[in-house]
Amino acid sequence: MGAARGSLCESGVYSSNVCATVWGKVEGLLRSGRRAMLVLVLLLAAACFVPREVALISGALAVLAGCIHGGVRSGLAFAATMAAQAGIFGLVRYDRLPGTFLGDAVLFAAVAIVFGSLVDTTRSRAGLSVEEHGGQQAYDALVNLMQEGMVLVDLKENILFANKAFAEMLGYAPDELVGKNLGELTSPEQYRVYREKTKQRKKGRSDRYESKMFRRDGEVVDVLVSATPFVASDGTVRGTIGVFWDITDRKKEEEKLKYLSMHDGLTGVYNRAHFEHEMRRLDAECYLPVSMIICDVDNLKKVNDVHGHAAGDAVLKRAAEILKGAVRASDIVARIGGDEFAVLLPNTSANAAKAIRERIRQHAAASDLLTGLSLGAATRETMDMSMAELFKCADDAMYGAKPKPTRVCAT
């Protein structure tokens, strides 16, 4: 029984789609005034050469054509034309009785009023009158010429319309997007944002925000969205009109600038500004104990003088790699001066900091570094010590660990 019902349902949907298609083609054909008049002339001519019963059918068809063209008004105009023709040719060919002309006129008028009213109501609900059709076509053309993506979705995020720019942005054809849900084009997290925004849209509020969407090939697209409530003629919010700008290139440039503002251009570790920002961030009890290691590259000037600045730069890069390889991912490694590095170690005891310092020394000794590293460590156990004092203690320890210069006595 379930299968039978399903088949009947599918058959009904199919029949409905076929009827809608046929109706659309007939309506499109008769929207043109010239084509409608041509149909009227042909049916008038046919009615002149057929029996009266068939002439009545051709007259009814002419009235229906007039209704399809322009509703009640055009239907009545076609009805009057066919009734006049029927009266004139009826007197000549059929020797009609008195009142027959009036009966034909009433019949055609009734058809025009009933069917024309139905057509007018349908077009009114669709929001497209005959006079508006040309404007609608111009509007559709304009929307598809927009460089910005434009989409209309209902309150459940189902796409009702998408222009060419929006479809191309995501790698689809416009017709392929109609019927899809926005949840199919973005991540679950971003979809939840859309749903929350729709709640605001129901209250009549517009919005502007950034989001991410998926192209057909899986590539992520950064978009800027301007969302406005779609209000129906009865004043109710029926969905959202969204305008989308592809800002992927801009976001990449922003990320690049953000990276450069936080990192040292030569070594790739954090720079002095970000190190100071992290010192302020870690100035909280929840990060205690917090430790710091200061590292100085020994004899960098000598390396530059003997081997050249390219060799000096290579030493600095290698030193940064040694430091990053010896600490945890959560630790902060920064270049804070020409030949000086610092490592911030949140929630790290003094013994753990000393173990990390020794690991750095071992990595440096086993590497191809052209010179040595001087390392100093200090730990902040309580909030009584400031972060500035922690830095000074670690810096003093580093200078205390530097190799003592050898004195040469003159004889």
**Which pLDDT does position 24 carry in this prediction?**
67
- Determine how many CB atoms are found less than 10 A away from the CB of residue 402: 13
Within the chain, how many helices (H) and strands (E) appear?
Answer: 14, 9
**Which pLDDT does position 58 carry in this prediction?**
85
> Judging by DSSP bridges, how do beta strands 149-154 and 332-335 pair with one another?
unpaired
Examine the pLDDT at 7 and tell me if it is beyond 60.
no
pLDDT band at 6 (very low <50, low <70, confident <90, very high): very low
Examine the pLDDT at 161 and tell me if it is beyond 70.
yes
| Cα 364 from Cα 318, distance rounded (Å) | 9
**Which pLDDT does position 92 carry in this prediction?**
58
**Which pLDDT does position 131 carry in this prediction?**
45
What Rg do the C-alpha atoms of the chain give, in angstroms?
41
Examine the pLDDT at 17 and tell me if it is beyond 70.
no
Mutual orientation of helices 100-126 and 52-89 as an angle, nearest 10°?
Answer: 110
**381: helix, coil or strand?**
coil
pLDDT tens readout for residues 315-339: 999 999 999 999 999 999 999 999 9
**Which pLDDT does position 93 carry in this prediction?**
58
| Cα 254 from Cα 224, distance rounded (Å) | 14
Average pLDDT, the chain: 85
156: left (phi over 0), alpha (psi -120 to 50) or beta: alpha
Average confidence (pLDDT) over 331-358: 97
Examine the pLDDT at 26 and tell me if it is beyond 80.
no
What b/e sequence results for 94-112 when a residue is b if at least 16 CB atoms lie within 10 Å of its CB, and e otherwise? Answer: eebeeebbeebbebbbebb
Domains plus CATH for the chain?
23-132 (no CATH), 147-251 (3.30.450.20), 263-401 (3.30.70.270)
pLDDT band at 74 (very low <50, low <70, confident <90, very high): confident
| Cα 81 from Cα 63, distance rounded (Å) | 9
**Which pLDDT does position 129 carry in this prediction?**
45
pLDDT tens readout for residues 379-393: 999 999 999 999 999
Average confidence (pLDDT) over 62-84: 85
Examine the pLDDT at 133 and tell me if it is beyond 50.
no
**Which pLDDT does position 130 carry in this prediction?**
43
Let me know: does 317 contact 362? Beta carbons within 8 Å. no
56: left (phi over 0), alpha (psi -120 to 50) or beta: alpha
Torsion of CA 329, 335, 336, 338, to 10 degrees: 170
Average confidence (pLDDT) over 276-290: 96
Examine the pLDDT at 25 and tell me if it is beyond 50.
yes
Cis omega (within 30 of 0) for bond into 289: yes
Query: Is the whole-model pTM more than 0.85?
Result: no
pLDDT tens readout for residues 354-370: 999 999 999 999 988 88
Vertex 174 angle, CA 169 and 175, to 5°: 150
> Where does residue 290 rank: exposed (0-12), middle (13-18), buried (19+ CB within 10 A)?
buried
**Which pLDDT does position 125 carry in this prediction?**
58
pLDDT tens readout for residues 176-225: 999 999 999 999 999 999 999 999 998 889 999 999 999 999 999 999 99
Q: Give all strands of the β-sheet with 207-214 in edge-to-edge order.
A: 159-162, 149-154, 237-246, 220-231, 207-214
| Cα 370 from Cα 368, distance rounded (Å) | 6
Kind and range of the H or E run holding 149: strand 149-154
pLDDT band at 97 (very low <50, low <70, confident <90, very high): very low
| Cα 362 from Cα 224, distance rounded (Å) | 50
Average confidence (pLDDT) over 146-175: 92
Examine the pLDDT at 408 and tell me if it is beyond 60.
no
pLDDT band at 45 (very low <50, low <70, confident <90, very high): confident
Examine the pLDDT at 39 and tell me if it is beyond 80.
yes
**Which pLDDT does position 19 carry in this prediction?**
61
**Which pLDDT does position 91 carry in this prediction?**
58
**Which pLDDT does position 140 carry in this prediction?**
65
129's CB contacts (< 8 A; 6+ apart) are: 123
Let me know: does 262 contact 270? Beta carbons within 8 Å. yes
**Which pLDDT does position 38 carry in this prediction?**
87
pLDDT tens readout for residues 239-266: 999 999 999 999 999 999 999 999 999 9
pLDDT band at 341 (very low <50, low <70, confident <90, very high): very high
**Higher-confidence residue: 329 or 17?**
329
Residue 161 pairs in a beta bridge with 152
Let me know: does 346 contact 328? Beta carbons within 8 Å. no
Examine the pLDDT at 73 and tell me if it is beyond 80.
yes
| Cα 193 from Cα 171, distance rounded (Å) | 23
Examine the pLDDT at 268 and tell me if it is beyond 70.
yes
